[in-house]
Structure 1
Amino acid sequence: MRILHLSDTHLYGDPAARHYGRIDTTRALRGVLEHLAGLERVDLVVHTGDASEDGTVESYRLLHELLDPFAARLGAPLAVAMGNHDVPAAYAELAGPGDHDPRYQDRAITTADGVRVVVLDSSVPGAGYGHLDPAQLDWLREVLARPAARGTVLAVHHPPLVAATRMLRALDLDGLDELGEALTGSDVRVILSGHYHHEMTGDLAGIPVHVVPGITNVVDPVAAGEHERSLALSGASLLEIDETGAARPRIITSLWPNAGDTPGGDAGDVQIPVYDFGPGEVQAIIDAAGR
C-alpha cells in the first residue's frame, strides 16, 4: 500500500492573502504538486488538515480544484481531515462521499482495492489544540469493528504524540489513552497527522504514527531553542505500508524551497525564517489558543 501524505496547505479564498504576510499558499501547493508530477503507483492521497487558513468555502473549492485532478491522475482517492484552522461546516459543502458521523467531519472511505481510510475531525472551534469527543471514539469503534480487506489508515490532524516544543505541546491532542484504547486490536496500519509542520514518528497502541512536514512552511523543532521558528520550505511524504502489520512503514520524505515564498512565485531565502517567535510571543499564542 502506497500513500502520499500531504498537510497544512493553509489556503485562502482571497488570492491576494499571504500567510504570515509572506507565503502565497496556493503557489506553495502548486509547487509541491509540480515536484510530485512524476509520482506513480499510489493507492491513496491523504491531506491531514489545516487545508484552509480562513475557513472559507472558496478556499476548500481551490483545494479540490488542485488536488482532485492530481489524485485522479494517480488513480487514487483523496481524503481530507479537518484541522484547527479549518471550518468543518464550510468544508461540508464540498466534502466527498463516505460513511459519516453527521455531528463531525468524521468519515470512512473504502477504496476500490479495499483500503479503508478513516478521517477524524480533531478541530475545536476557536482553539489551536485538538480533542476527540467520546461520541467520536464510539463511532470509530463501530467502524473498526468491521475489518477492511486491505487494512485501515487513520488520519487525524493533531498527532497522537507528545509534541517536541513548548508551544506545540499546548496545542496538541488530548485523550491519547482513550484513542489508544479505541484502536487496540484494530486493523489500523498507520496513523497520519499534520499540525506540527515538521516530520515526527512514534507509536500509539503499537500503531506507527507519522507526522508530515507542512506545505506552507516547515517548523525547525531542533535548533530553535526557546524560540518557535519555521522556514520557507514545503514537504511531503510517501509511505509504503505492510498491510499485514508485521513491519513498520517505509517513509520517504522530501523538502523543497517554498514555491510561494515571494509574490512572483520564485523560491526565496529559506534561511530567513517565516516566523521566529520569542518566549513572550510563544506565551501569548498559548494563552490565546492553547488548552
Structure 2
Amino acid sequence: MRILHLSDTHLYGDPTARHYGRIDTAAALRGVLNRLAGLEGVDLVVHSGDASEDGTVESYRRLHALLDPFAATLGAPLVVAMGNHDVPAAYAQVAGPGDHDPRYQDRVITTVGGARAVVLDSSVPGAGYGHLDPAQLEWLRSVLAEPSVGGTVLVVHHPPLTAATRMLRALDLDGVDELAEVLVGTDVRAILSGHYHHEMTGQLAGIPVHVTPGITNVVDPVAAGDHERSLALSGASILQIDANGTAPGIITSLWPNAGDTGGDTAGDVRVPVYDFGPENVQAIIDAAGR
C-alpha cells in the first residue's frame, strides 16, 4: 500500500485571512498539490489533522474543494482526521457523519486490496493537547479484533511520541500507554500523525509512527534552542507498506511555501514565520497546554 501523507493545512473560511499574518494557507495547499501532480500508484491519501484553523464549515468546504478532485485524479480514497484546531461537528456538515461512533470522528475506511485506515479523533475542545478516552480505545479494540486482509493504518493527529520541544511536549497526546496496550498483537502496520509540523519517526508497541511536516509551515526543532520557530516551508510524505507488513519505507520532501505573502521576505525561508521566545512559549502552554 502506497500512502500520501499530508497534514496541518490550517485553512480559513475567510479567504483573506493569513496564518500568523503571513501565510495564505489555501495557496500553500494548492502549491503542494501542484508539486504532487505527477504522482502515480497512490492507494490512499491521508490528511492527519488540523485541516482547519478556524473550525468553520466554509474552511472544510475549501479543503474538500481542493483535495477531493486531487484524490480522485489519483484514484485514491481520502482520509481526514481531526486535530486540535478542528471542530468535528462543523467537519461533519461537509464530509457527512461517516462510519464512526456518533460521539467522535472515529471511523474506518477500507482502501484497495482489503487494507483499511482507522481514524481516531484526538481533539479536545478548546485545548492544544490530545486525548483518547476509554470509550474510544474500546471502540478501537473492537475494530482491530477482526484483522483486515491488507493490514491497518491508524491515523491520529497527536503523535504517540515524545515531542522534541518544550511547547510541543505540553501539547502532546494523553493516554499513549493505554493506546499501546490496545495495539499489541494487532494488524496495525503504521501510525500516521501531524501536529508537530516537522518530520519525526519512532515506534509504539513495535509499530512504526510517522509524523509528516506541516503544509502551512514547518517547525525547526533542532536549531531553535529555547525558542519555538517555524519556517515558510511546506512538506509531504510518501509511505510504502509491503504486502508482508514490513515497516514502511518513507520519503519526505520540503518546498518553499507557495502561500508565503511576507512582502519583501516572501520566499525567504531564512525569515521565520514565527519565533517565540520563552515567555511566549509559556503563555501558549498556559492557554492551550495540559
Task: Provide TM-score, normalisation by structure 2.
Answer: 0.97
The residue number in structure 1 matching 2:287 is 288
- Tell me, yes or no, if structure 1 residue 38 matches structure 2 residue 54: no
- Tell me, yes or no, if structure 1 residue 109 matches structure 2 residue 109: yes
The residue number in structure 1 matching 2:259 is 260
Q: Distance in 2 between matches of 1:283 and 1:267?
A: 29
The one-letter code matched in structure 1 to 2:170 is A
The residue number in structure 1 matching 2:13 is 13
The residue number in structure 1 matching 2:176 is 176
1:97, distance to aligned residue in structure 2 (A): 6.9
Q: Distance in 1 between matches of 2:85 and 2:193?
A: 14
The residue number in structure 2 matching 1:29 is 29
1:146, distance to aligned residue in structure 2 (A): 1.2
The one-letter code matched in structure 2 to 1:124 is V
The one-letter code matched in structure 2 to 1:285 is I
What does the per-residue CA deviation read over 1:41-96, in whole Å, with 9 as the maximum and x for residues that have no partner?
Answer: 00000000000000000000100000000000111000000000000000011225
Task: Please tell me whether the aligned partners of residues 189 and 243 of structure 1 are also in contact (alpha carbons under 8 angstroms).
Answer: no
Q: Which runs of 5+ in 1 are unaligned?
A: none
The one-letter code matched in structure 2 to 1:55 is G
The residue number in structure 2 matching 1:224 is 224
1:243, distance to aligned residue in structure 2 (A): 3.4
Task: Please tell me whether the aligned partners of residues 24 and 263 of structure 1 are also in contact (alpha carbons under 8 angstroms).
Answer: no
Q: Distance in 2 between matches of 1:271 and 1:104?
A: 40
SS at match of 2:113: coil
The one-letter code matched in structure 2 to 1:150 is G
Query: In angstroms, what is the RMSD of aligned CA positions?
Result: 1.3
SS at match of 1:172: coil
Task: Please tell me whether the aligned partners of residues 238 and 250 of structure 2 are also in contact (alpha carbons under 8 angstroms).
Answer: yes
The one-letter code matched in structure 2 to 1:282 is V
Task: Please tell me whether the aligned partners of residues 43 and 77 of structure 1 are also in contact (alpha carbons under 8 angstroms).
Answer: yes
1:158, distance to aligned residue in structure 2 (A): 0.1
The residue number in structure 2 matching 1:69 is 69
How do residues 244-259 of structure 1 correspond to structure 2 at under 5 angstroms? 244-245=244-245, 247-259=246-258
Q: Which runs of 5+ in 2 are unaligned?
A: none
Q: Distance in 2 between matches of 1:243 and 1:18?
A: 42
1:205, distance to aligned residue in structure 2 (A): 0.3
Q: Are the structure 2 counterparts of residues 224 and 28 from structure 1 closer, same or farther at C-alpha, using a change threshold of 3 Å? A: same
Task: Please tell me whether the aligned partners of residues 115 and 152 of structure 1 are also in contact (alpha carbons under 8 angstroms).
Answer: yes
1:262, distance to aligned residue in structure 2 (A): 1.4
What does the per-residue CA deviation read over 1:140-172, in whole Å, with 9 as the maximum and x for residues that have no partner?
Answer: 011111111101000000000000000000000
Q: Are the structure 2 counterparts of residues 181 and 243 from structure 1 closer, same or farther at C-alpha, using a change threshold of 3 Å? A: farther
Give the paired residue count.
289
Extract structure 1 runs of 4+ deviating beyond 3 A.
none
Q: Distance in 2 between matches of 1:140 and 1:200?
A: 24
The one-letter code matched in structure 2 to 1:201 is T
